[in-house]
């Protein structure tokens, strides 16, 4: 037996429609507004909804959209207003219908039978081959896609990607899975893992190269002074080391930090200096011998603050060391480097520029396989904040018993 839900705030209409529908052998549920209807649908199996547009609390349009979020059951919309017809036409798809009030109950019965018959035929035909995404219907057997009843032309590749994201709903796919789908459609053979990995590596390398090129060009051509504010370097370094901890653990490397007990407050651009530290720490981890340590030290005196990163790495020649901060220099000497770690050759050059923008110096020192990146930046005592200056000025004026103009 089919169950039909009548949603209308007019009690007399509900009584009349209920009588006609029960005489035809349908089970009938009633709701006076959209909120009541949605609650009823949660606890009852409903096969068709007769829905009035003009209702209190939640109107028919909002109720219809809520139903469509979870179900494609047939809905017959009712309205007494002529201007609602355009709205209804925009909402409905092939499986929906609408009637303008007033109407004869027999006409509604005919629409109910037609909608139920059509919906049952569609379910039998689907047999698991239809995917419903609100107003979007994907037919896996026919390889067709319709949106609100209008067929959308898709290439086989586009359809494969759409099917991947649509089934099962809510699942997250990584890049490898997407490339696998694409390569299966394009290549048609089972060697997609190699294709996926090589394509992914090239894409990552190109992105890194373009990003670094743009950053290098911006830094090289910028004459503007960097914006700076008071930053606790101890806290900044601590946050960066926490972010690098998973990578260090994966490489079997221990990050040893010696940041001191006293905060080191400096006037810097935290994003730019943080970017330079990121680059240097990434290189220290990348070239460090596995199961080794990377020591990060922060110290300062009255003139400068110093950041050092010490690691044990594969030996390099004096020529390689001299070219380390040059543009497009790639230290391919590392035995630990994998294909997906290929850099752009600009990272260390960018780091040096970022540090020089702060008036600092970046250098590399080495001895017996121990390499130390050293940052030395002039220590600038932060200026008082504008609010603090204003407060001190007003306090001074009050003590002098003078007027502030």
> For 70, what's the count of Cα atoms within 13 Å in the CB-facing half-sphere?
7
pLDDT of residue 333: 43
As a whole-number percent, the residues of the chain with pLDDT over 90 amount to 13
pLDDT of residue 4: 92
Determine the Cα angle at 148 with ends 18 and 162, to 5°. 125
Section 313-335 average pLDDT:
62
Q: Round to whole Å and give the CA distance between 185 and 178.
A: 11
* Average pLDDT of the chain, as a whole number: 76
Pairing label, strands 304-312, 293-300 = antiparallel
Which residues on adjacent β-strands are paired with residue 297? 258, 308
As a whole-number percent, the residues of the chain with pLDDT over 70 amount to 66
Section 269-283 average pLDDT:
87
Which residues on adjacent β-strands are paired with residue 370? 312, 367
Q: What is the pTM of this model?
A: 0.42
Give yes or no for residue 87 having a pLDDT over 70. Answer: no
Q: Round to the nearest angstrom and report the end-to-end CA distance of the chain.
A: 86
Give yes or no for residue 129 having a pLDDT over 60. Answer: yes
Task: Identify each DSSP E strand in 316-369 by its residue range.
Answer: 361-367
Task: Categorize the per-residue pLDDT at 192 as very low, low, confident or very high, splitting at 50, 70 and 90.
Answer: low
pLDDT of residue 383: 41
Tokens of 377: 């930046």
pLDDT of residue 31: 93
Q: Which residues contact 353 (CB under 8 A, 6 or more apart)?
A: 216, 219, 220
More confident site: 41 or 368:
41
Give yes or no for residue 223 having a pLDDT over 50. Answer: yes
Q: Round to whole Å and give the CA distance between 32 and 273.
A: 63
Give 31-61 pLDDT, tens digit per residue.
999 999 999 999 888 889 999 988 888 888 8
Give yes or no for residue 405 having a pLDDT over 70. Answer: no
Give yes or no for residue 221 having a pLDDT over 70. Answer: no
Section 235-246 average pLDDT:
91
Give yes or no for residue 291 having a pLDDT over 60. Answer: yes
- Residue 130 sits at φ, ψ, to 5 deg, of -105, 135
Section 354-376 average pLDDT:
86
pLDDT of residue 354: 84
Give yes or no for residue 104 having a pLDDT over 80. Answer: yes
Q: Round to whole Å and give the CA distance between 112 and 75.
A: 9
Distance of CA 272 to the CA centre of its chain: 24
């Amino acid at each position: 037996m089919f169950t039909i839900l009548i949603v209308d705030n007019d009690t007399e209409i509900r009584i009349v429609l209920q009588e006609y529908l029960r005489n035809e052998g349908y089970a009938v549920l009633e709701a006076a507004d959209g909120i009541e209807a949605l609650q009823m649908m949660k606890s009852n199996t409903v096969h068709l909804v007769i829905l009035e547009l003009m209702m209190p609390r939640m109107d028919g349009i909002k109720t219809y959209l809520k139903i469509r979020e979870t179900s494609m059951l047939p809905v017959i919309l009712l309205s007494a207003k002529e201007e609602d017809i355009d709205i209804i036409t925009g909402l409905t798809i092939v499986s929906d219908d609408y009637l303008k009030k007033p109407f004869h109950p027999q006409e509604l019965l005919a629409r109910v039978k037609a909608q139920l018959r059509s919906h049952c035929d569609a379910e039998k035909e689907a047999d698991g081959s239809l995917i419903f995404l609100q107003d979007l219907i994907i037919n896996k057997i026919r390889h067709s896609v319709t949106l609100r009843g209008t067929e959308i032309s898709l290439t086989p590749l586009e359809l494969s990607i759409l099917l991947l994201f649509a089934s099962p709903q809510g699942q997250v796919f990584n890049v490898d899975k997407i490339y696998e789908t694409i390569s299966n459609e394009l290549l048609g053979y089972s060697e997609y893992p190699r294709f996926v990995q090589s394509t992914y590596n090239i894409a990552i390398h190109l992105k890194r190269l373009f990003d670094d090129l743009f950053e290098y060009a911006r830094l090289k051509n910028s004459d503007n002074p960097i914006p700076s504010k008071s930053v606790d370097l101890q806290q900044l370094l601590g946050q960066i080391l926490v972010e690098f901890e998973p990578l260090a653990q994966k490489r079997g490397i221990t990050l040893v930090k010696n940041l001191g007990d006293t905060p080191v407050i400096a006037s810097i651009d935290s994003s730019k200096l943080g970017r330079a530290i990121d680059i240097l720490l990434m290189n220290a981890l990348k070239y460090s011998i596995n199961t080794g340590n990377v020591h990060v030290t922060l110290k300062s005196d009255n003139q400068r603050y110093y950041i050092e990163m010490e690691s044990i790495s594969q030996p390099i020649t004096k020529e390689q060391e001299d070219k380390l901060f040059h543009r497009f220099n790639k230290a391919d000497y590392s035995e630990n480097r994998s294909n997906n770690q290929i850099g752009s050759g600009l990272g260390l050059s960018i780091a040096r520029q970022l540090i020089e923008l702060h008036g600092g110096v970046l250098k590399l020192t080495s001895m017996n396989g121990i390499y130390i990146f050293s940052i030395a930046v002039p220590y600038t005592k932060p200026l008082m904040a504008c609010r603090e200056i204003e407060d001190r000025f007003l306090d001074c004026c009050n003590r002098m018993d003078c007027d502030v103009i």
